[in-house]
Amino acid sequence: MPFQKKINFNKILLLLGFIIVIIGLISVICLQTDVMDFSRGHDFYYLNDSGHSVDFKDGLNFIYEVQLSRVQTVEKWMVPIRIKYEGNPTKEDIAVLNKVIKDFNKIDGFPGIKIVNKDENVLLIYAPQEDLPEIQQKYHLTNLTIDKGVCQRFSEDGEIKRAIIIIESDVDQKTKNSVVLHEIFHMIGFYGHSALNTSVINQIGESVPKLSAVDTLAFQMLYCPEIKIGMTYYEIDV
Ligand SMILES: [Zn+2]
């Protein structure tokens, strides 16, 4: 009889151990799901995922304000953007550039950006203020006023083919990070400046660290395959 009791006790211990393991596994799965849900809600660093606060009309008005009011019909990149950087970027400059690229490449329909050493279609130059006149001369950009940064695009039949971006390397790092984002946003097709102060390309020259909800929506709309090069405001707004 005592022997029988011992076996039962062992069986109960085994069963308890089994239950504890199952509970542990379930907890781990739930925790991981939570973590995944959390990261899904914070997918972007430079883009904005609060899209519920803006709609199609806000995006279209923005595209009109900063692009169509200047060039009449839709312009955008059709091939992957190959950025070559030169000059004196800091480690953080390169980290920020990579992070912006990673975020922008999440936009559906956008041909994407990558960093290259040669065969670039975008040249990104980090240079101190004193070197700017010489650089402007070299790249025939003497008609541009550089205020911390500048972007010049070259398009053919609505397709943006090439661009050059100059960043003043001697401004403080935090400002420079916003300037890079601002100029890259100009580079992808948003030419002018917006009256919306939250936009990364606001006309008051305020440094904005990430795209506003309208900026992000306009980016998604411009690169949506249904919106084609050559379309007018009225052809989009149907
Ligand atoms: Zn600007």
Q: Which residues contact 202 (CB under 8 A, 6 or more apart)?
A: 193, 194, 195, 196, 208
| Helix, strand, coil percentages for the chain (3-state, nearest 5) | 45, 15, 35
Ligand 1 center to residue 8 CA distance, Å?
Answer: 78
Ligand 1 center to residue 185 CA distance, Å?
Answer: 9
Ligand 1 center to residue 86 CA distance, Å?
Answer: 20
Ligand 1 center to residue 39 CA distance, Å?
Answer: 31
Tokens of 231: 């379309």
Give the closest residue to 144 by CA, choosing from 132, 156, 155, 154.
Answer: 132
- Work out the average pLDDT over 33-54: 63
Ligand 1 center to residue 189 CA distance, Å?
Answer: 12
Ligand 1 center to residue 108 CA distance, Å?
Answer: 24
Distance CA 94, CA 102 (A): 12
> Residue 148 — left, alpha, or beta (φ > 0 → left; ψ -120 to 50 → alpha)?
left
* Average pLDDT along the chain: 89
Give residue 2's pLDDT.
56
Quote the pTM value.
0.81
81-101: pLDDT as tens digits = 999 999 999 999 999 999 999
> Residue 205 — left, alpha, or beta (φ > 0 → left; ψ -120 to 50 → alpha)?
left
Please give the single-letter amino acid code of residue 8: N
Q: Which residues contact 40 (CB under 8 A, 6 or more apart)?
A: none
Residue 103 pLDDT exceeds 80? yes
Residue 212 pLDDT exceeds 90? yes
- Work out the average pLDDT over 187-216: 95
Strands 122-127 and 149-156: unpaired
Residue 176 pLDDT exceeds 80? yes
Ligand 1 center to residue 63 CA distance, Å?
Answer: 15
Residue 15 pLDDT exceeds 90? no
Q: Which domains does the chain have, with CATH numbers?
A: 51-236 (3.40.390.10)
Half-sphere exposure of 140 (CA within 13 A, CB side): 3
